[in-house]
Amino acid sequence: MKIIVIGGTGHIGRFLIPQLIEDGHEVTTVTTGRTPIPEGTVWNRVKFRDASSLKNEKSWLDFVSTDKTGVLIDILGNNLPELYRATKSKISHIIACGSVWMLGTPTTVPVPEITQGPCQFEGYQKRYHEILAVKETARKDGVSFTAILPPNICGPGKIPLDCRGGRSIEVHQAHQRGEPVQLPEGCNNLVGPCDASDVAQGFWRAVRKPEAAADEIFNVGAAYALTTTRFVEAYGEIYGIKIPVEQVTLNEFKTKVLPDPGDNYHFLAHMCPDIHKIREKLDYAPEYTPEETMERAVAWMCDEKLL
């Protein structure tokens, strides 16, 4: 089968593309060029298309008509409605990437694939509305549609979430030195690092079981999440040093320690996706625990001489 992957050279795509190639699919990846093409024989079997050449619905329609695509996987998510309109007559299955954050601040843990409340982040909110709208339209049009929602993506290939809510080498260097981490008083929030390989597995299994995946939104994630204090402790174990936790008031944490909502949200809202549906329907089975994927990410940073 012919498959187009938008964003195939990124963190998820680098694990997904080899799985698709090994299954015998003909894969074309649309790339912005911001990330280099990985090395290896499997990537010699992949076709590449510059995203800048696909600027409107007509160019997309011409592209998929020529390629006779069976599946379109959209990891980047720049304009899902336009992409759907341009390709719906030429594809059998579209698989979109979202985020557990889109569901809003959790009221239930583990978090099921239903709206929990208003999403605080405009970009995620817009994408979620697009996913729900395209899902409804695809059902009416008879096109299979699936969305995959990962939590905190971790593992080799990208700087992992740090204990200040970002992806900073400088902060990881501070962790490596055993510098204190400040958290709000009584914080026992859940953090859910999930290996990029296990995120990719969700897309791969949706391709393998299109009928079971159709008209579904699936969470992916590790088998369990970590409390915030365990998250800090795990980094200490990986770096071989104790990282002290200093408690501050919630107000001080939100106004002085981590005033950026995109940073402090990691420690104020649970990130623990319920993955039972994708387990049952698609036989999803995460390979890595949160601690293992954090260790894999740190090992990658060391290999890349970032640490």
CATH of the domain at 134: 3.40.50.720
The 71-74 sheet, strands edge to edge: 47-50, 26-31, 2-6, 71-74, 93-97, 144-149, 216-219
Reference 158, options 21, 34, 43, 260; nearest CA is: 34
The DSSP 8-state label assigned to residue 41 in this structure reads: G
Reference 93, options 220, 202, 209; nearest CA is: 209
The predicted structure's pLDDT at residue 68: 62
Extract the tokens encoding 117.
């409340």
Reference 248, options 261, 270, 264, 227; nearest CA is: 264
Residues constituting the chain: 307
Determine, yes or no, domain membership for 259. no
Determine, yes or no, domain membership for 248. no
Residue 189 burial by CB count (10 A; 0-12/13-18/19+): exposed, middle or buried? buried
Beta 226-227 vs 190-191: how paired, if at all? antiparallel
Per-residue pLDDT of the chain (307 residues; tens, 9 = 90+): 899 999 999 999 999 999 999 999 999 998 877 888 888 889 999 999 887 777 776 777 677 766 666 899 999 888 899 889 888 888 899 999 999 999 999 999 999 999 998 999 999 999 999 999 999 999 999 999 999 999 999 999 999 999 999 999 999 999 999 999 999 998 889 999 999 999 999 999 999 999 999 999 999 999 999 999 999 999 999 999 999 999 999 999 999 999 999 999 999 999 999 999 999 999 999 999 999 999 999 999 999 999 9
Beta 144-149 vs 216-219: how paired, if at all? parallel
Determine, yes or no, domain membership for 90. yes
Determine, yes or no, domain membership for 123. yes
Domain that holds residue 117: 2-154+193-222+272-287
Distances (CA, A) of 42 to 8, 19, 71, 177: 13, 10, 19, 39
Q: How far apart are CA 246 and CA 38, in angstroms?
A: 41
Reference 144, options 154, 135, 152; nearest CA is: 135
Determine, yes or no, domain membership for 113. yes
Q: How far apart are CA 117 and CA 101, in angstroms?
A: 10
Determine, yes or no, domain membership for 167. no
Extract the tokens encoding 94.
């579209």
Cα dihedral: 206, 211, 215, 221 (round 10): -30
Residue 68 has a CB neighbour count (10 Å cut-off) of 11
The predicted structure's pLDDT at residue 74: 95
Structural domain count of the chain: 1
pTM exceeds 0.85, yes or no: yes
* b/e per residue 150-177 (b: at least 16 CB within 10 A): bbbbbbbbbbbbbbbbbbeeebbebbbe
Beta-bridge partners for 195:
154
Determine, yes or no, domain membership for 279. yes
Determine, yes or no, domain membership for 142. yes
Residue 247 has a CB neighbour count (10 Å cut-off) of 12
Extract the tokens encoding 57.
């619905």
Q: How far apart are CA 123 and CA 174, in angstroms?
A: 30
The predicted structure's pLDDT at residue 59: 76
